[in-house]
Amino acid sequence: MENNLTVWRAKADLTQGELADEVGVTRQTINSIERGRYDPSLGLAFELATFFDCRIEDIFTYDPDEAA
């Protein structure tokens, strides 16, 4: 799954640690999501979208070919 979490975080002028604190995860989790090494749970995806007041699809792009 691709994402543009880095862009949303930069627009909000937040560090990875600050965003992590806001959504209740570690900085390493945010880093792993941004690098594409970790796909967030549905709950975390909703938390991030709610925090940024956007849709999940605005942050994350699902590629069905990638899941195969």
Q: Domain locations in the chain? A: 2-57
Average pLDDT over residues 49-62: 96
Reply yes or no on whether the pLDDT at 19 is more than 80. Answer: yes
2-57: which CATH number, 1.10.40.50, 1.10.260.40, 3.30.450.20, 1.25.40.10? 1.10.260.40
- Tens digit of each residue's pLDDT (9 = 90 or more) over 2-17: 999 999 999 999 999 9
pTM: 0.90
Where does the pLDDT of residue 62 fall: very low under 50, low under 70, confident under 90, or very high at 90 and above?
confident
- List b or e across 47-63, with b for residues whose CB sees 16 or more CB atoms inside 10 angstroms: bbbebbeeebeebbeee
Amino acid at 5: L
Q: What is the pLDDT of residues 24-48, one digit of tens each?
A: 999 999 999 999 999 999 999 999 9
